[in-house]
């Protein structure tokens, strides 16, 4: 079986507001992405996923869509989009859009109709309920951004449901007309030539038909955010979602080599259902375990083994280290260990997704109170749940505003941008950017690293090690996940192996059979008799 592009390839997520601004409004745009395609080609990624670019009031920065078939003027025009798609394809890169099916904007014409009257033909395209007997919301469900998930509509005397902001009413996927209309949206973009979609909150799309209360979460602490006070037992992950995912999959398959990636935050056993029976679901249910797991060798080894073991027959793995919702990896682990994490991401079996800016090792960016943009932070301030710190503009060079904009950037840059930017790192052999380029190049030339099998190797201490092999080639990846030096004895077949790449850019030391790993060092090794 030959591997598909989305199995071999590496995906790169762009948060479009923050990548490159071309018109001086301080907000990134499609022309900006087009300008930077050569950078992405040189980096060595295979596919770009762009967070939403559709017309939007921007209550949730594009995840509140007011027109599923257009481009927000802040980002450009449909012609700009077509040009970007063609330019990406001309460089052999794929382009994925973000499909947001769970909810629209409250400014979407469908919702404006739906709220016009109880008898409007589109009333049932959203989720309307009477008040509870005695008044108040229909049940106890809580928005993911805090507060009741139900919003009272004075004019029609009912509540509507919103899993996120009240400006993001949930669509009713139990309504066949809504479902058909959304499938048409997918067709619209597939016909235009997009290579697939990242599907926003796929597991949220269907709710229990009778809307029972969610049970309390026994492990809740207020610092988690109010959404975690309840278990989302009835508001998410309903069995009917799999039929919808299968319909999307059938459609995507009609177009040939397209990919569907589901955003799903669920425990492993639940997550696996999203591959669908006999692979009829999404191609890649996002695997966020590297974002969520405690960073230690034993735990990660067990997690990798459990994930591999849980995959259904034919299910292709994938790994994510960062996205626009979670703290940056270098903020979490520090720059040195983030380099090891990158080596892990790019050498595990499965499709990796990189997050823009992580290739520069950008760390935590403090956002002053008067510059906060994220509605998540504004609704539950001070818990550290705000997402602005991971959405700051890409620093390109040493010109004003790091070359991101000639205007005022919508969010501040990483304060170390004069040193930490693309132009500077491109000239430094040991920079995070060059490590990414070298890892991506290695992955491209060694099939073992992309589509090869994986076998975990028993280790001690902070070492995590595994073997990858394909077509008779066998490689060893060994990572020191700790901040102390580690002695590591490779398996017999890899003794005296030669170093293909270390996360630390100077020669390695050994003492006979063992390799000495420096703090935060990862290595990829090839045995001498490999080729
Ligand atoms: C998940 C997205 O990743 C997040 O940024 C957004 O706020 C919610 N879905 C709502 O669309
Ligand atoms: Mg702009």
Q: What is the pLDDT along the chain (531 residues), one digit of tens a residue?
A: 689 999 999 999 999 999 999 999 999 999 999 999 999 999 999 999 999 999 999 999 999 999 999 999 999 999 999 999 999 999 999 999 999 999 999 999 999 999 999 999 999 999 999 999 999 999 999 999 999 999 999 999 999 999 999 999 999 999 999 999 999 999 999 999 999 999 999 999 999 999 999 999 999 999 999 999 999 999 999 999 999 999 999 999 999 999 999 999 999 999 999 999 999 999 999 999 999 999 999 999 999 999 999 999 999 999 999 999 999 999 999 999 999 999 999 999 999 999 999 999 999 999 999 999 999 999 999 999 999 999 999 999 999 999 999 999 999 999 999 999 999 999 899 999 999 999 999 999 999 999 999 999 999 999 999 999 999 999 999 999 999 999 999 999 998 889 999 999 776 777 778 999 999 999 999 988 654
Quote the CA–CA distance of 137 and 511 in Å, as a whole number. 68
Q: Tell how far the Cα of 289 is from the centroid of ligand 1, in angstroms.
A: 18
319 lines ligand 1 (CB under 6 A): no
Ligand 1, atom 6, lies closest to the CA of: 63
Is residue 511 within 8 Å of residue 505, measured between CB atoms? no
Q: Tell how far the Cα of 310 is from the centroid of ligand 1, in angstroms.
A: 26
Query: What number does CATH give the domain 5-103+175-363+417-440?
Result: 3.20.20.80
Fold annotation for 453-526? Immunoglobulin-like (2.60.40)
Quote the CA–CA distance of 382 and 397 in Å, as a whole number. 32
358 lines ligand 1 (CB under 6 A): no
473 lines ligand 1 (CB under 6 A): no
Quote the CA–CA distance of 293 and 296 in Å, as a whole number. 9
Residue 441 has which token pair? 């190049």
Residue 448 has which token pair? 């073992």
Residue 1 is predicted with a pLDDT of: 62
Is residue 111 within 8 Å of residue 126, measured between CB atoms? yes
User: CATH homologous superfamily of domain 109-161?
Assistant: Oligo-1,6-glucosidase; Domain 2 (3.90.400.10)
Going by their DSSP bridges, the two strands 453-457 and 463-470 should be labelled as antiparallel
Residue 530 is predicted with a pLDDT of: 59
Residue 505 is predicted with a pLDDT of: 78
Q: Is 181 helix (H, G, I), strand (E, B) or coil?
A: helix
Among the listed residues 75, 54, 309, 39, the one whose alpha carbon sits nearest the alpha carbon of residue 301:
309
383, exposed or middle or buried, with CB in 10 Å at 0-12, 13-18, 19+?
A: middle
Quote the CA–CA distance of 229 and 217 in Å, as a whole number. 5
222, exposed or middle or buried, with CB in 10 Å at 0-12, 13-18, 19+?
A: exposed
63 lines ligand 1 (CB under 6 A): yes
Instruction: Tell me the residues surrounding ligand 2 (ion) with CB < 5 Å.
Output: 21, 23, 25, 27, 29
Reply yes or no on whether 505 is catalytic. no
**16-28 burial code (b ≥16 CB/10 A, e <16):** bbbbbbbbeebbb
Q: Is 80 helix (H, G, I), strand (E, B) or coil?
A: helix
Q: Give the ligand with the smallest distance to the CA of 200.
A: 1
Residue 215 has which token pair? 């049970």
Among the listed residues 95, 79, 96, the one whose alpha carbon sits nearest the alpha carbon of residue 37:
95
The 3 state secondary structure assigned to 358-412 is HHHCCCCCCCCHHHCCCHHHHHCCCCCCCCHHHCCCCCCCCCHHHHCCCCCCCCC
Residue 2 is predicted with a pLDDT of: 85
Quote the CA–CA distance of 197 and 33 in Å, as a whole number. 18
Residue 528 is predicted with a pLDDT of: 80
Q: Give the ligand with the smallest distance to the CA of 75.
A: 2
Looking up tokens 């703090």 gives 519
159 lines ligand 1 (CB under 6 A): no
The 3 state secondary structure assigned to 301-345 is HHHHHHHHHHCCCCCCCEEECCCCCCCCHHHHHCHHHHHHHHHHH
98 lines ligand 1 (CB under 6 A): no
In the 8-state DSSP scheme, what is residue 204? G
Looking up tokens 């005296």 gives 496
Residue 477 has which token pair? 């990846």
Closest atom of ligand 1 to 145 CA is: 7
The whole model's pTM is what?
0.98
Mutate to test the pocket of ligand 1, among 13, 16, 17, 63 (most ligand atoms within 8 A of CB): 63
From residue 376, alpha-carbon distances to 152, 383, 385 in Å are 21, 10, 7
In the 8-state DSSP scheme, what is residue 456? E
Among the listed residues 443, 469, 442, the one whose alpha carbon sits nearest the alpha carbon of residue 455:
469
- List 263, 377, 380, 467, catalytic entry: 263
Q: Where are the domains of the chain?
A: 5-103+175-363+417-440, 109-161, 453-526
Closest atom of ligand 1 to 100 CA is: 11
Is residue 193 within 8 Å of residue 85, measured between CB atoms? yes
Reply yes or no on whether 263 is catalytic. yes
Closest atom of ligand 1 to 60 CA is: 7
294, exposed or middle or buried, with CB in 10 Å at 0-12, 13-18, 19+?
A: exposed
Helices within 122-232 (DSSP H only): 176-192
What size, in residues, is the chain? 531
Going by their DSSP bridges, the two strands 351-355 and 11-14 should be labelled as parallel
């Amino acid at each position: 079986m030959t591997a598909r592009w989305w199995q071999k390839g590496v995906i790169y997520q762009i948060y479009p507001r923050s990548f490159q601004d071309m018109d001086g409004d301080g907000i990134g745009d499609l022309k900006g992405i087009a300008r930077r395609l050569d950078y992405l080609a040189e980096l060595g990624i295979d596919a770009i996923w762009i967070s939403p670019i559709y017309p939007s009031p921007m209550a949730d920065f594009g995840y509140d869509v007011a027109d599923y078939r257009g481009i927000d003027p802040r980002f450009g025009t449909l012609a700009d989009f077509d040009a970007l798609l063609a330019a990406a394809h001309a460089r052999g890169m794929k382009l994925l859009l973000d499909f947001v099916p769970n909810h629209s904007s409250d400014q979407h014409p469908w919702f404006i109709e739906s709220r016009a009257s109880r008898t409007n033909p589109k009333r049932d395209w959203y989720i309307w309920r009477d008040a509870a007997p005695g008044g108040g919301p229909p049940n106890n469900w809580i928005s993911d951004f805090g507060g009741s998930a139900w919003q009272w509509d004075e004019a029609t005397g009912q509540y509507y449901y919103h899993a996120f902001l009240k400006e993001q009413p949930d669509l009713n996927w139990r309504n066949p007309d809504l479902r058909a209309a959304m499938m048409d949206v997918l067709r619209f973009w597939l016909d235009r030539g997009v290579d697939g979609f990242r599907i926003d909150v796929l597991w949220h799309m269907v709710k229990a038909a009778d809307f029972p209360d969610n049970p309390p979460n026994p492990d809740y602490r207020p610092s988690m955010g109010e959404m975690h006070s309840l278990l989302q037992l009835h508001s998410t992950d309903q069995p009917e979602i799999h039929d919808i995912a299968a319909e999307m999959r059938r459609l995507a398959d009609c177009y040939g080599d397209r990919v569907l990636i589901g955003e799903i935050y669920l425990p492993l056993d639940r997550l696996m259902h999203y591959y669908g029976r006999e692979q009829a679901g999404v191609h890649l249910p996002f695997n966020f375990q590297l974002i969520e797991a405690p960073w230690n060798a034993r735990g990660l080894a067990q997690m990798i083994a459990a994930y591999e073991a849980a995959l259904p027959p034919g299910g292709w793995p994938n790994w994510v280290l960062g996205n626009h919702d979670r703290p940056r990896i270098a903020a979490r682990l520090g720059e040195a260990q983030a380099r090891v994490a990158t080596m892990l991401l790019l050498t595990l079996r499965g499709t990796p997704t990189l997050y823009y800016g992580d290739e520069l090792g950008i760390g935590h960016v403090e956002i002053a109170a008067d510059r906060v943009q994220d509605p998540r932070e504004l609704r539950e301030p001070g818990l550290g749940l705000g997402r602005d710190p991971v959405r700051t503009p890409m620093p390109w060079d040493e010109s004003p505003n790091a070359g991101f904009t000639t205007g005022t950037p919508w969010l501040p840059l990483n304060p170390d941008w004069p040193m930490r930017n693309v132009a500077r790192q491109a000239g430094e052999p040991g920079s995070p950017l060059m490590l990414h380029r070298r890892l991506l190049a290695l992955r491209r030339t060694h099939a073992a690293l992309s589509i090869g099998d994986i076998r975990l190797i028993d280790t001690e201490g902070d070492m995590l090690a595994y073997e990858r092999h394909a077509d008779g080639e066998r490689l060893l990846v060994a990572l020191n996940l700790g901040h102390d030096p580690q002695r590591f004895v490779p398996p017999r077949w890899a003794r005296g192996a030669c170093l293909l790449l270390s996360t630390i850019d100077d020669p390695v030391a050994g003492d006979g059979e063992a390799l000495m790993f420096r703090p935060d060092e990862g290595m990829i090794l090839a045995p001498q008799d490999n080729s």
